[in-house]
Every structure is written in structure tokens, then in C-alpha cells.
Structure 1
């Protein structure tokens, strides 16, 4: 699992503000591109209040 802060730091650098909204928008765009059904998440799962994780399902 990757926390919001870790992803923001890795993508935008440690000088970036920890604005989760920009991360949520980007994750929604990524999901639209890789999920067959963006409403039924299969690959990238949200851990509310923590971050994101990849599904264990093949």
C-alpha cells in the first residue's frame, strides 16, 4: 500500500504541497484508462484516509 504523502512526494517531489485533490484527479484518470469498468474497481483500490493499493487478484 502507498500512502497519499508517499505518492505525492515521489511524483511531484518533497516541495509539493500535500494536496490530495490533485492526486485523486490523477488516479481517476489512470483508472479510466486501465479499468474495464471504472465503477467496479479491479486493479487500483482506495484505502480511505491512507492511500492506494494494487489488487491482489490476478
Structure 2
């Protein structure tokens, strides 16, 4: 995600990049995104770094990627 900071990454793209063609379950992606958020967000209820684009995918804010 940091390589594509600021861009919306569709669910299918993220799933393919991480798990390849072996899964198409969006639930797996959602669970993993929740775990990542718990680790990097100061307050997981108030998202600052990884934003959800409803019905499309996720977007990492550009400011975070500059610090990685």
C-alpha cells in the first residue's frame, strides 16, 4: 500500500497482490486490514492512515508512506 499511497486500491487488486489467485474472499482482507489498523492507528475508531473507500477498496494517506 505504501508504494501506491494516495491511490485507491480496489479489494480485488489487494487480494491478488497478497494471496494471488488462491483466494477471492473479501472477508480475509477485511480481517487483515483491521489487524493492521490496530497496530498502526493511534485510535482505530478514528482512522488517519488507512482509509476505507466504501464499495471500492482502501487508500493509504500519503503522509504515512513518507515516514516509512
Q: Give TM-score scaled by structure 1 length.
A: 0.89
- Structure 1 runs of 4+ with >3 Å offset: none
Q: Give TM-score scaled by structure 2 length.
A: 0.77
Which residue is equivalent to 1:35?
Answer: 41
- Which of the numbers 26, 38, 42 marks the counterpart of 2:32? 26
Aligned length: 57
> Hey, which of these two has a bigger chunk of helix by percent?
2
Unpaired runs of at least 5, structure 2: 1-7
3-state DSSP of counterpart to 1:5: helix
Unpaired runs of at least 5, structure 1: none
What is the root-mean-square deviation in Å for CA atoms of aligned residues?
Answer: 1.4
Of structures 1 and 2, the one scoring higher in RCO (CA 8 A, sep 6+) is: 2
